[in-house]
Amino acid sequence: MNTIANKCKKILVEENINTDSEIEFDVNGKVHTMNFEYIIDTFMQASKESQLVFLAALQKAVAVDNMGVDKFFEGMGQLLLMTHLSNKIEV
């Protein structure tokens, strides 16, 4: 398994944040749910540089407080959702 992903998950565990915590997004009445672990694992499919940026941003979010972590994962989840939905749009 990816060591950067492990570091991200370890940070959450050390902060007593459950990696199964979920964020829900309502898009036109359809609810999309993502948990923190899914968001981490999905971003770990990116380049090594992007993985390191994700890790650094997570570390900064943790330094703020739990609200920072929630906002971080909310933003990352929105990015994933927008990417997923834009790939489904037929032109």
DSSP state at residue 2: -
In this structure, the number of other CB atoms found within 10 A of the CB of residue 76 comes to 21
pLDDT at 91 over 60: no
Question: Half-sphere exposure (CA, 13 Å, Cβ side) for 34?
Answer: 22
pLDDT digits (tens, 9 = 90+) for 17-62: 999 999 999 888 999 999 999 999 999 999 999 999 999 999 999 9
pTM of the model: 0.86
Q: Cα separation of 46 and 52, whole Å? A: 10
